[in-house]
Amino acid sequence: MKVLLIHPPCEEEIYQRFLGLIAPPIGLAYVAAMLEREHEVKIIDMPAERKDIAKVKREIEMFKPGALGVYCATYRVDYANQVINATKEVDANIRTMMGGPHASLLAEDVLARNPNLDAVVCGEGEITVPELIHAWESGELAEIRGMVFRENGHVVRNPPRPLIADLDSLPYPARHLLPMDKYRLFGAFKMGTIVSSRGCPHGCHYCSVPAIYGRKWRARGAENVVDEMEYLCDNYDLDLIMFFDDNFDLDKKRTESICDEIMERGLEITWGYESASMDIDREHLKKLRDAGCRILSYGIETTSSKSIATMKKSISTQEIREVMETSKDLGMLRIANIILGLPGESKEDVEESIELAKELNPEYPLFFLPAPYPGTKFYETAQKMGMIKELDWSKYTTANPIIETQQLSLDEVRELNRKAYKEFYLRPGAMKNNLRMAYDFIKCGIIKPRHIPGLAYHQLKTFACLVRL
């Protein structure tokens, strides 16, 4: 059967706006790699390829798939539904499915809201999707674990699918089906991504990962990971690789083995990852840096002691200061993810977080507004307390205010977010910091002359957007 997989866009891309990031839908590419063993598969990455629904509809008409699947995070659900509806308009016989975090967590709801959707795959898709396609060709849907589907007007939930135990056994994502030349960081660096582990043992209240996968962390071996890095370097003309794991550095020994393996093979590639923890000592950071890790995105989330207690993220301000300082000393570019206006935080607390951000002065802080995603503890509490004021899922991008607390109204939190970006970035200290970093990156050859037009264009665009905020 021909299968078409689609990455739908969403309303607001904070990462694209401030980091010039366009990232590949690697989950879809994993599913495609398994499907390709038996089927003809195509992927459309709508945001990266700048394709709208009309264009996608024309491609469906031309490709004539037997089945079509859409990735669905909460903030993408509107477009995901539009794709599903367009599919059935082209041909009502095309089978439709969704996967990804939102569909996994709210399968029945998603099916109930869109009669054009035939099935939802919950959690990992590598084994379930090929079984589902096979069943649509010939067999019995009731046998397939990990899916929810429509049958004779009823929604049926099958037993869950166990997690994939051996991630090393999976094929590499089918990147040849993705527009690899479109993926960028800072609008200029050609970026590849790798997922070297899945899951996370922590239980942060605002996070969907434990809600979907429980609290088990599964990791690939260092050799297998570096094989993929090497494969990416050999086959794509990349400037850097980002690890898009839920918790890449949980097992520091494994990370250091990855570093050793990179150095032993003499692999010269700049890479980075998002750190879920601030518990990283200088020696570890130095090892990472020596192996080419120059971009660290820190999930600080909150610096307010009130929120740390309610959101189950145990990071002290002291830890944050130390890690930030050390990574700066080691010449690493620092992105800091900070949530403003969590329940319990007053205007003064948020202003304190903004001041702390200025004091720490990472190159790229991103200020997010709290979004209670379905299935999380945060959602449960926010709903119980009547905090949720925005019901349109497409607004759950963390750029829009969703909850109102006793301390902060929607308008106040929106204004504080605007203030955070303006005050931070339009400061001589921030600009100086970025120039210093750019100089460092030019000196060590990460920024090459060919990157400069793209970087300059991205900076100008960000500046214009900040002025307009």
Smallest gap from Cβ 203 to ligand SF4, in A, equals 6
Measure Cα distances from 455 to 152, 403, 438, 451, 462 in Å: 54, 35, 10, 6, 11
Q: How many whole angstroms separate alpha carbon 154 and alpha carbon 433?
A: 58
**What is the helix (H) or strand (E) element at residue 294, kind and residue range?**
strand 293-301
464 three-state secondary structure: helix
Q: How many whole angstroms separate alpha carbon 51 and alpha carbon 281?
A: 44
Smallest gap from Cβ 432 to ligand B12, in A, equals 26
Strands 240-243 and 218-219: unpaired
Nearer CB in complex with ligand B12: 16/263: 16
Nearer CB in complex with ligand SF4: 209/320: 209
Smallest gap from Cβ 284 to ligand SF4, in A, equals 17
Residues that bind ligand B12 (CB under 6 A): 10, 13-15, 21, 23, 25-28, 30-31, 69-71, 73-75, 97-102, 121, 124-126, 129, 195, 207-209, 244, 246, 368, 373, 397-398
Within residues 151-210, the interface with ligand SF4 by CB under 6 A covers: 200, 202-204, 207, 209-210
Nearer CB in complex with ligand B12: 100/344: 100
Burial class (CB in 10 A: 0-12, 13-18, 19+), 234: exposed
The distance from CA 51 to its chain's CA centroid, rounded to whole angstroms, is 20
Nearer CB in complex with ligand SF4: 378/425: 378
Alpha-carbon torsion, ordered 365, 370, 373, 377, to 10 deg = 110
Which of the choices ligand SF4, ligand B12, none does residue 202 contact, using the CB cut-off of 5 to 8 A by kind? ligand SF4
Nearer CB in complex with ligand B12: 98/336: 98
Decide if residue 293 touches ligand SF4 (CB under 6 A). no
Within residues 294-333, the interface with ligand SF4 by CB under 6 A covers: 299
Residue (of 32, 36, 326, 33) closest to 44 by Cα position: 32
Which of the choices ligand SF4, ligand B12, none does residue 74 contact, using the CB cut-off of 5 to 8 A by kind? ligand B12
Which of the choices ligand SF4, ligand B12, none does residue 167 contact, using the CB cut-off of 5 to 8 A by kind? none
Smallest gap from Cβ 276 to ligand SF4, in A, equals 4
Nearer CB in complex with ligand SF4: 333/339: 339
**What is the helix (H) or strand (E) element at residue 107, kind and residue range?**
helix 107-113
Burial class (CB in 10 A: 0-12, 13-18, 19+), 406: exposed
Binding site for ligand SF4 (CB under 6 A): 200, 202-204, 207, 209-210, 246-247, 276, 299
